[in-house]
Every structure is written in C-alpha cells, then in structure tokens.
Amino acid sequence: MISSKIEEALNRQIDLEGFSSMYYLAMGSWAEVNGYKGVAQFLYHHSDEERMHMLKLFRYINDRGGRAIVPPFAAPQKDFKNIREIFDIVHSHEVKVSNEINALVELCIQEKDYTTHNFLQWYVTEQIEEESLARDVIDKLNLIGEDKGGMYLFDRDLATLTGQQGGGKGHGGHGH
C-alpha cells in the first residue's frame, strides 16, 4: 500500500509524462507539416515512449492500492521557430523531468517507501538515456549549422535513430 503523499506525487508524475507525450506529439506534427518527415517519425516515437512511461505509473499506483487519475493536461505549445528550437526544448524538458524524478526518489526516502524507491530506479536510468539522446541530437545540429544539405541528411538520420532509441541500450524491462 502506498501512502496518500506518494500516491499524489506519482499522480503528478503521470501528469508530467502525459504532458511530455503531448508535447512531443505537437513538435512531431510541426516537423511533419514543415517537411521534416524523419524528425516527425522520431518525435512521434518519442511521444509513444512517454505515454508508456505514464502507463507504467498507472499500473504501479493501482497495483499498490492507490488510484491513478487522468489529469486535465495543459495544452502544449504548437508553433516552433525551427528544428533547433524543438530539440533545445526537448533537452530542457528532459532535464526538468529528471529533476522531478529525483525529487520523487528523495520523497520515497523521507517516507521510507522503499518499494516505490525501487520502482523509480527504472525512471532514473531512462532519464540518463533521454538526456544524453537529446544532447547527441543537439551536437549534430551544431555541426550542421545553417547547411541545407546537412539538414536533409539530419532528417534522414533521425528516422534511423527512431528504431534505436529506447529499449535497445542495455537496460531491459521497457515493457513494450
């Protein structure tokens, strides 16, 4: 059984993971209509992953005697300047998510909830990967700069990267 304090905190994380999913969906849609099919594919996939992170929390809360609630999600930004802006946002958003996960881990220690603490370790590992993935993409964009041909290849590259992100990097239990 989880305490109501932990239940509330996990429900807030549901809100954040669900919002992340919508945010990446909005970015993917912008990329798609602006001619970046590979980037769109990457972001749609990323959106699916965030939904899976949210679903994992639903199952955990309900399994542990709490109740997972679908929150009223905030509407994500729909217009973006360019691809660079999108990935800067992805990176800073993932850093924010990592901070929230760390705060949750801290709360579990305070509350002596070692089961939830253990459950959250999956998210801790996932955040390391997601932050590093976002940084890798930004590094590529820095190399390309304003080069149009480079952007064309970058878009193709991201379609390839889509199959590799999540699940394949040595930690099991992705659950999808």
Enumerate binding residues for Fe ion (CB under 5 A): 17, 50, 53, 130
| Residue 53 neighbours by CB under 8 Å, 6+ apart | 17, 20, 123, 126
CB of 78 to Fe ion, least distance (A): 19
Which residue matches tokens 């970015």?
A: 27
CB of 117 to Fe ion, least distance (A): 18
Read off φ and ψ for residue 175, nearest 5 degrees.
75, 30
Nearer to Fe ion, 141 or 165 (CB): 165
CB of 90 to Fe ion, least distance (A): 8
Contact status, residue 111 vs residue 3, Cβ threshold 8 Å: yes
Nearer to Fe ion, 7 or 50 (CB): 50
Torsion of CA 152, 127, 53, 88, to 10 degrees: -40
- Per DSSP, helices labelled H in 34-147 are 37-63, 83-110, 114-144
**Nearest position to Fe ion, beta carbon:** 53
Contact status, residue 18 vs residue 50, Cβ threshold 8 Å: yes
CB of 112 to Fe ion, least distance (A): 26
CA distance 104 to 110: 10
Nearer to Fe ion, 47 or 151 (CB): 47
Nearer to Fe ion, 17 or 151 (CB): 17
Nearer to Fe ion, 86 or 151 (CB): 86
